[in-house]
Structure 1
Amino acid sequence: MNNNYLTSQNGAPIADDQNSLSAGERGPLLLQDWHLIEKLAHFNRERIPERIVHAKGTGVYGKFTLTKDLSDYTIAEHFNGVGKETETFIRFSTVGGEMGSADAERDPRGFGLRFYTKQGNHDIVGNNTPTFFLRDGIKFPDFIHTQKRNPQTNLKDPQAMWDFWSLNPEAMHQVTILMSDRGIPANYRQMHGYGSHTFSFWNAKGERFWVKFHFKSQQGVVNLTGEQADVLKGIDPDSSQRDMVAAIADSNFPKWTVKVQIMPEAEANTYAINPFDLTKVWPHSDYPLIEIGELELNRMPENYFAEVEQVALAPSNFVPGVGASPDKMLQARLFSYADAQRYRIGTNYNQLPVNCPHAAKANHHQRAGAMAGTQCPYNGSQTGADSSANYGPNTVDGGLKDTSQFAEPPLRLDGEADRYSRYDQDDYTQAGNLYRIFSEEEKQRLVETIAGTLSQVTADVQQKMVAHFTQADADYGQRVNALLEA
């Protein structure tokens, strides 16, 4: 029987395809949201073998040096003890393009960092922007479809891109960043990085703090104009990869100053904006940047495929003292990133040298699956205890015990489980604030870039976008509209 309503793969009608099921309006997502899980699991399996997003990247090893002790905020060992050095791996990437795409595209840049700590791998998988287009991961597959190729023409599709943004004004802040002079970093060394999401710290007293990570380039920030990028893409589509290889070969090791913003747990309940909304930033006037260390990159991988293509960065890779927050995009990514790696690489992807812990030993009861028996060169076998036991608890494996001393403090929840759509619905103020700090020349280049692709879409979508720009700032909307009417 024909129908015109959305269903799941088993034919069940979907009541709400735009809002994930959460515990309270600002609470974390629920595993029982089978529709969210189905969307993300299917999305992770749409392409092989390259990554669906962040397909083309550059990987580099380095070190993090702590310059400020954070024991008042977290028990995480790599953030305790001034002067402590931790081995790192970072993968930079473009987001929307395929493996063969150019490095100089107008696109956010992935900034995925791994700390090989003594208590396991800690990953911060962020971007070169402090915000993102969405606040709820249930929309992510749909958004990425608009950034990829039209399923009929196999061409990039401005209509799909702007149609989606016109119906999701939460994207306004990130769209303004992307279309501005900040939208095309000249290379990976001369751009900032951000954890973007809100994460949590907890200390030895069981006190929780919310935290945002910032990585400030010591090389300065350099961006390309659209015209410069178009030329560079034709001359050298691998420009950012080549720049990094040359810098490391010349011992011109790039560095970032690492800073954090920290919010006491209780303040999140009364703060003016939702601190877990990925489309928002925390004003530095309220939560100043605190310098905590330095990140230096100093060694290229020896095997690109083994180390860069198969690195499995995931925001779910936490260590004691660092955890998640009710950020709905982060909550969805906690599942989708690791699931994508299980699909792309195999069940035991964490046994590959780039993924296994370098400074800690992995002990568990997982034995079977793809790549089972792989040895980690840093800590030997990852099959768990030196016995045949593949279950726990048991009396034969020498005692793999829980480590209750590292337990995360309880997260207080409040509210009814529902699909919440209207919270902190001010999608315009921060986008407008960003527009207003631009110079006249920057504003003009911004609106010209927007009009360049927006002029290719239908009139109704143009009108919706002009209305959004106008709500962010009247001059912003007027300038875009004038170019569209010219």
Structure 2
Amino acid sequence: MSENRLTTATGSPVADNQNSQTAGYQGPILMQDVHLIEKLAAFNRERIPERVVHAKGAGAFGYFEVTHDVSEFTRAKFLSTVGKRTPVLIRFSTVAGEKGSADTERDPRGFAIKFYTEEGNYDLVGNNTPVFFIRDPLKFPDFIHSQKRHPVTNCKNPDAIWDFWSLSPESIHQVTILFSNRGTPRTYRHMHGYGSHTFQWVNEAGQGVWVKYHIRTEQGIENWRRHEAVQLAGEDPDYSTRDLFESIQRKEYPEWSVWVQIIPFDEARNYRFDVFDVTQTISQKDYPLIPVGRIVLNRNPDNYFAQIEQAAFSPANVVPGITFSPDKMLQGRLFAYADAHRYRLGINHTQLPVNRPLSPVTNYQRDGAMRVDGNGGDSVYYEPNSFHGPKQDPAASEPGLSLQGLSGSYAYPQNQFYTQAGDLYRLLPESEKTDLIDNIAASLGQAQKNIQLRQIGHFYKADQEYGQRIAEALHLAEAAPTDLQD
């Protein structure tokens, strides 16, 4: 067997390392995709004890308050009544850096919200960007590897970073956002948050709609320019962490408004972009934002390790009235996040005070490392049983999705990589276009020339001027666009 053949850990050849197996083109991911499961499970176990991603973070407690009636769309009780308040914890973070990295590095920012509802914990685990670099979880370990340190030099590796992006053209939308000034937000208080994925809301009648979350800062958007962010990384690498803590100490409580886009099932089928593709956005002109509520952070943690470092978020944590979509990245995260916590914090991590739900927990899970409650006492420990133990509740089920197609690995269409990236570039004011070009050139210029040429070809495809200006900034303007698009 060729040494260049990709295999599983047990030596079996891998047929497709770019596309997860799904039930039809838009169907959910199949558990039989053992390569995906093995790849994600191995990735989650690469670091101890800090998080593999989102290692550097800050957080605070507060509340979510319903300001508008959305009961026609969802039966989630915490969204049922205008004026109703639910306790929340938000953890903000950088993504690629280690626990000691600088808060102002160019990086997406994690924006994870835990709602302590009467029906259990609901986690909305998003970022400060509405899209992501990739759209299939099979590529996630490779993507993060490309952002980490070189295994020989232990330094960041621009060749790896840009090589991966240039060979994954679906990343160009997020790359454009990242290298705009939005890639270096001034503070955690001065940025929006997004659920990024498409989720499903279900109402009392069992009717579902697709939903996208937008959490908009009331402090206003503020960003650093590149030289400012670099300077501050040296002067005060904990700037955003300190700012969040001190603003709450001053009782200048940060606030966000919560909005959603609602997309009917039948309209989603024929929408001009795939609504389950996390590299794409859904136009607010087509589906305007609908107000839902507001979030206020008004309490700092009493102990960082106990309440922030040990906080565990997973998009698998939902409540009745909110469920999932066939978004491949979301489907992969449903496994990967909970699995990461089982490894990092242990099988009983949900018993830690910061992760413990306010609602009663009644199940048959017993034993395991670090069990901190009564371990069920002398209650019945199996099901079904004749001793009045907890029983399933059919009312909690959500309607299923209609699926069709053959199982297999399905690639996305190749013609939707560039449209939204180009649209975003053209929307930027001239000063921000200039900063974007400067930021990209400063980073891409450190990569090998063949990687630069490949990546510039993607920028040209998004927008002719976009590609041309980057080529000029890298002194590659003599190359024709057709030569750069191989």
Q: TM-score, normalised by structure 1?
A: 0.96
What are the within-5 Å matches in structure 2 for residues 323-342 of structure 1?
323-342=323-342
Q: Indicate whether 1:364 and 2:359 are aligned.
A: no
Partner of 1:343: 343
**In 2: Cα distance, 1:428 partner to 1:2 partner:** 36
RMSD: 1.1
Provide the rounded CA distance (Å) in 2 between the counterparts of 1:420 and 1:212.
24
> Structure 2 stretches of 5 or more lacking a match?
477-486
For residue 483 of structure 1, the aligned residue among 455, 467, 473 is 473
- Matching residue of 1:391: 382
Question: What amino acid does structure 1 have at the position aligned with 2:385?
Answer: N
Report the residue type matching 1:440 in the other structure: E
Deviations, residues 149-178 of structure 1 (Å, cap 9, x unaligned): 011111000000100011100000000000
Task: Output the CA distance in 2 between the equivalents of 1:326 and 1:315.
Answer: 13
Residue 425 of structure 1 deviates from its aligned partner by 3.6
Of residues 423, 429, 444, the one that matches 1:454 is: 444
SS in 2 for 1:369: coil
Structure 1 position 468 matched with structure 2 position 449: no
Partners of 1:433 and 1:292 in 2: CA distance: 28
Give the SS at the match of 1:340.
helix
SS in 2 for 1:213: strand
- Please list the CA deviations of residues 76-116 of structure 1 after superposition, one character each: whole Å capped at 9, or x if unmatched: 00111111100000100000000110101010000000100
Q: Distance in 2 between matches of 1:354 and 1:3?
A: 47
Quote the offset at 1:422 in angstroms.
3.1
Aligned residue runs from structure 1 range 175-186, under 5 A: 175-186=175-186
Distance 1:331 1:245 in 2: 34
Task: Deviation per CA, 1:323-344: give whole Å up to 9, x if none.
Answer: 1100000000000000000000
| Alpha-carbon distance, 1:424 to partner | 6.4
Q: How does 1:27-426 map to 2 (within 5 A)?
A: 27-358=27-358, 360-372=359-371, 374-375=372-373, 383=375, 387-396=378-387, 398-423=388-413, 425-426=415-416
State the secondary structure of the residue aligned to 2:190.
coil
Kept in 2, the 8 Å contact 1:274–1:424? The answer is: no
Q: 1:232 & 1:3 partners in 2: Cα distance?
A: 46
Could you say which residue in structure 1 is the equivalent of 2:480?
none
- In structure 2, the CA distance between the partners of 1:62 and 1:424, relative to structure 1 (3 Å rule), is farther
Return the alpha-carbon distance in structure 2 between the equivalents of residues 111 and 61 of structure 1: 13
Q: How many angstroms apart in 2 are the aligned matches of 1:262 and 1:348?
A: 36
**Off by >6 Å, runs of 4+ in structure 1:** none
Can you list the C-alpha shifts for 1:127-164, whole angstroms capped at 9, x where unaligned? 00000001101100000001110111110000001000
User: Does the residue aligned with 1:201 lie in a helix, a strand or coil?
Assistant: strand
Q: Measure the CA separation in 2 of the matches of 1:268 and 1:24.
A: 16
Q: What are structure 1's unaligned runs of at least 5 residues? A: 376-380
TM-score (norm 2): 0.96
Q: Provide the rounded CA distance (Å) in 2 between the counterparts of 1:25 and 1:119.
A: 33
Q: Tell me how far 1:399 sits from its aligned partner.
A: 3.2
- Is contact 2:383–2:389 with CA below 8 Å preserved after alignment? no
SS at match of 1:423: coil
Instruction: Give, as a single letter, the amino acid of the residue that structure 2 aligns with 1:225.
Output: R
Q: Percent identity?
A: 53
* Alignment check: 8 A CA contact 1:273 1:424 kept: no
* SS of match in other structure, 2:312: coil
In 2: Cα distance, 1:424 partner to 1:78 partner: 41
Q: Aligned residue pairs: how many?
A: 476
Distance 2:209 2:113 in 1: 21
- Contact 2:441–2:470 (Cα < 8 Å) also in 1: yes
* Letter of the structure 2 residue corresponding to residue 459 of structure 1: K
